[in-house]
Chain A
Amino acid sequence: MTKPFSHDQDRLLARLIGPPGPEISCEECFEQLDLYVELELAGSDAEAAVPGMRAHLEGCGACAEDRESLHAMLSREASSGT
């Protein structure tokens, strides 16, 4: 029988154990990041185009920040019309 973990422990375990399932590497993440973020902004299924990206972004804080930055940059450009 599995034992449930408390909310705090869930957060701790998420950091220690990482995401379940297969994930891509940091190198693959960087290579695909531009495509992934453009698909996200277009409302397309980015995870289907880059399988394992979502899990990697859950597990790697630095790559997740890179994704957030590119998303924010493109969103700003789109809203300012540049």
Chain B
Amino acid sequence: MIPQCLSTGPTAGSCSGSVEDALTGSSKITVVPTRGEQESRVWIERLRATGPERDAALVELHALLLRAARFEIGRRSGSRALRGGDYDDLAQQSADDALVAILRKLDDFRGESRFTTWAYKFALYESAVKVRKRAWQGREIPLAPEAWPLIADDHQHTAQQSVETTDQLSALREAIEEDLSPHQREVLVALALNDVPIDVLAERLNTTRGALYKTLHDGRQKLRGALTARGLGLEEHKEQTPA
């Protein structure tokens, strides 16, 4: 890890060492931990302790994770999937799962952020995934390639309707049909056209978010190349509209 004084982190300029350095004393420079680093070090020490000290740290950490889970689920409270009683059950499950994940990955914490920031991301992730899955519980996942030509039909009725529009959409449709593998096409249709959450699709296909995104990425690369080959090279779009 790069000492903070050599990085552009939030504590840049303080010329402090990393948490690892502070713990091991391995740094050659004079280490003056920041308040955040000191707090992180204390968290790690308490979670690696035994007996009542560790038990107390686990209780505190769970409370912190529960706060994050409630925050995340609260942000998504508009979801039709959530009813009153479900809300706190889901938060509790998310905090429980996040705590297990954190303890399993404790050695991966490198002190590049505050420990609490690192811990929050697990609770927020668990909560978001659970809400997405709850929202799609019992719903059919549209994977069929027949689903996507409807997009072209919809767009043909917009104000931008033109021969060029039709040509461009036809080229795109052709590239999707001809240049992608069946699996790439299914994943692209589900994620990019039908708005299926990637975690929901991953669960149904018994895979992971990362593996599915790799498939999507590879498919996108093929599509990009195919459109360029058809004379439709892209002026890179400015908008951020993720799958």
Contact = CB atoms under 8 A, between A and B. Distances in A.
Which of A3, A10, A49 has the largest count of B CB atoms less than 10 A from its CB? A3
B168 A38 contact: no
Interface stretch (B24-32, B44-52, B235-243): B235-243
Which of A25, A27, A58, A73 has the largest count of B CB atoms less than 10 A from its CB? A73
Contact of A62 (B113, B160, B197, B238): B197
Contacts of A37: 113, 117
A26 to B, nearest CB: 4
Nearest to A48: B8
Size band of the interface chain A makes with B: 35 or more
Interface residues of B, number: 61
A4 B240 CA distance: 18
Nearest to A31: B108
Given A34-B118, A61-B243, A69-B75, A16 B192 contact: yes
B213 interface: yes
Contacts of A60: 198, 213, 242-243
Contacts of B68: 73
B117 A59 contact: no
B234 A16 contact: no
Interface in B177-207: 188, 191-193, 197-199
Given A17-B223, A26-B213, A10 B9 contact: no
Interface in A15-62: 15-18, 20, 23, 25-27, 30-31, 33-35, 37-39, 41-42, 44-45, 48-49, 57-62
A14 B193 contact: no
A55 B232 CA distance: 22
Contacts, number: 163
Q: Is the interface of A mostly helix, strand, loop or mixed?
A: helix
B155 A14 contact: no
Given A10-B239, A17-B224, A58-B240, A45 B8 contact: yes
A44 B220 contact: no
A11 to B, nearest CB: 5
B125 A9 contact: no
Contacts of B121: 30, 33-34, 66, 70
A60 B160 CA distance: 27
Interface string B130-160: 0010000000000000000001000100101
Given A18-B243, A66-B124, A73-B124, 7 more contacts: A13-B234, A15-B241, A16-B172, A17-B223, A42-B9, A59-B217, A62-B209
22 contacts: A1-B231, A2-B233, A3-B164, A4-B235, A8-B160, A9-B168, A12-B172, A14-B237, A16-B223, A17-B227, A18-B216, A18-B217, A18-B220, A20-B234, A26-B213, A38-B9, A39-B9, A42-B10, A42-B12, A49-B7, A57-B242, A58-B242
